Amino acid sequence: MKSIMKPILDLSFRYKIPLWGGLLIIITALAVSFTLIINSYDELKEDLLINSETMGYSLKTTLFPAMLHDDIWRAYEIISAPINRAIDGSNPVNAETILVVDSALRVVVSAHPKSAPMLTEMRHLSPEYAVLADRITRMDGRSSQEINLPESKYYYYVTPISSENAHLGTLIIVHPKDVFLPRFTRIVGRGLSVGAIILAILLPFNWYWGQRMALPLVMLTARMGEISRKWPADLDPELYVYRDEIGKLFDAYTQMLRDLKDKGELEKQMVQSERLAALGQLAAGIAHEINNPLSGMLTAIDTLKCHSDADQRTMKTIALIERGLTQIKDTVGALLVEAKIKSRSLTPQDIEDVLTLITPMARKKALHIGWHNSLDEDVPLPATLVRQILINLLLNAVQAVAQQGEVAVDIGIADSQMRISVANDGKMLSAEQIAHLFEPFSPLSEGGHGLGLWVTYQIVHQLGGQVTVKRESNNQMRFTVSIPIGGVA
Amino acid sequence: MNGVQKNFHLIFRKKFKMKNVPFGNKIENKCNKKLPSSNMMIYFYNKFILLQIFSIIIILFASSTVWAEENSEPIRFGLTPAIIHNQYGLLIDWREYLQKKLRRPVEFVSRDSYRETIDLIKQKKIDFAWVSDYPYVYLEDKRLARLLVTPLYQGRPYYCSYLIVPSSDLTTKSLLQLKGKIFAYADPYSNSGHLVPRYQLQQAGEDPNRFFRKTFFTWGHRRIVEAVAQGLVDAGSLDSFVWDTLSIIQPDLTNQTRIVAKSPEYGFPPIVARRNVNRADSAAMQQALLDMANDPEGAKLLKRLNLSGFAPGDAKLYDGVRKMMHTMADL
Interface of B with A in 188-227 (CB under 8 A): 213-214, 216-219, 223, 227
d(CA B25, CA B289): 19
Within a domain: residue B330? no
Within a domain: residue B29? yes
Answer whether B229 touches A (CB < 8 Å): no
- Name the minimum distance, in Å, from the CA of B251 to any CA of chain A: 19
Q: Do B191 and B179 have their domain in common?
A: yes
Q: Do B28 and B152 have their domain in common?
A: yes
Answer whether A61 touches B (CB < 8 Å): no
Last residue of a domain, one of B226, B245, B263: B263
Q: Do B143 and B44 have their domain in common?
A: yes
Q: Do B218 and B107 have their domain in common?
A: no
| Residue A117 with chain B: CB contacts under 8 Å | 182, 231
The CATH number given to whatever domain includes residue B30 is: 3.40.190.10
Q: Do B259 and B275 have their domain in common?
A: no
Of B2, B223, B232, the CB nearest to A118: B232
Which of A458, A462, A459 is closest to A280 using CA atoms?
A458
Write the ipTM.
0.73
pLDDT digits (tens, 9 = 90+) for A152-207: 888 899 999 988 878 899 999 998 887 777 778 888 888 888 888 888 998 899 88
Does the pLDDT at position A56 exceed 60?
A: yes
Helix, strand, coil percentages in chain B from 3-state DSSP, rounded to 5 = 45, 20, 35
Q: Do B243 and B167 have their domain in common?
A: yes
pLDDT digits (tens, 9 = 90+) for A251-296: 888 888 889 889 988 998 888 888 888 888 888 888 888 888 888 8
Task: Look at residue A66 in the predicted model and tell me its pLDDT.
Answer: 92
Q: Do B206 and B172 have their domain in common?
A: yes
Radius of gyration, CA atoms only, chain A: 55
Within a domain: residue B322? no
Higher pLDDT, residue B184 or A95:
B184
Which residues constitute the domain of residue B175? 161-263
Of B182, B214, B231, the CB nearest to A114: B231
d(CA B241, CA B246): 8
Which CATH superfamily, name and number, covers A2-184? Answer: PAS domain (3.30.450.20)
Does the pLDDT at position A298 exceed 60?
A: yes
Interface touch A73/B231, C-beta < 8 Å: no
- Domain A345-484 sits in CATH at 3.30.565.10
Within a domain: residue B326? no
Which chain B residue has its CA at the smallest distance from A66's CA? B2
Answer whether B235 touches A (CB < 8 Å): no
How confident is the model over A128-137, as a mean pLDDT?
91
With beta carbons less than 8 A apart as the criterion, state whether B217 and B187 touch.
yes
Q: Do B238 and B300 have their domain in common?
A: no
Of B213, B218, B231, the CB nearest to A73: B218
Last residue of a domain, one of B263, B285, B305: B263
Of A65, A74, A118, the CB nearest to B214: A118
Answer whether B249 touches A (CB < 8 Å): no
Answer whether A81 touches B (CB < 8 Å): no
Which of B245, B262, B297 is closest to B192 using CA atoms?
B262
Percent of chain A with pLDDT over 90: 17
Answer whether A253 touches B (CB < 8 Å): no
Last residue of a domain, one of B247, B263, B279: B263
Answer whether A118 touches B (CB < 8 Å): yes
Mean pLDDT of chain A: 84
Kindly tell me the burial class for residue B4, based on how many C-beta atoms sit within 10 Å of its own C-beta (0-12, 13-18, 19 or more): middle
Residue to test with chain A: of B224, B232, B234, most A Cβ within 10 A: B232
Within a domain: residue B44? yes
Tens of pLDDT, residue by residue, chain B (331 residues): 343 344 433 433 343 333 443 444 444 555 665 544 445 545 555 555 555 655 555 554 444 444 444 467 899 999 876 566 567 788 889 999 999 999 999 999 988 888 999 999 999 999 999 998 999 999 999 999 999 999 999 999 999 999 999 999 999 999 999 999 999 999 999 999 999 999 999 999 999 999 999 999 998 899 999 999 999 999 999 999 999 999 998 899 999 999 999 999 999 999 999 998 988 999 999 999 999 999 999 999 999 889 999 999 888 999 999 999 998 876 5
Strand ranges for A242-365 from DSSP E: 345-346
- Give the range among A29-43, A338-352, A442-456, B257-271 with minimum mean pLDDT: A442-456
Q: Do B128 and B240 have their domain in common?
A: no
Tell which phi-psi region holds residue A430, choosing left (phi > 0), alpha (psi between -120 and 50) or beta.
beta
Q: Do B20 and B118 have their domain in common?
A: yes
Considering its fold, how many domains does chain B have in total?
A: 2
Task: Look at residue B14 in the predicted model and tell me its pLDDT.
Answer: 40
d(CA A301, CA B317): 187
Answer whether B231 touches A (CB < 8 Å): yes
Helix/strand/coil for A105: coil
Answer whether B5 touches A (CB < 8 Å): no
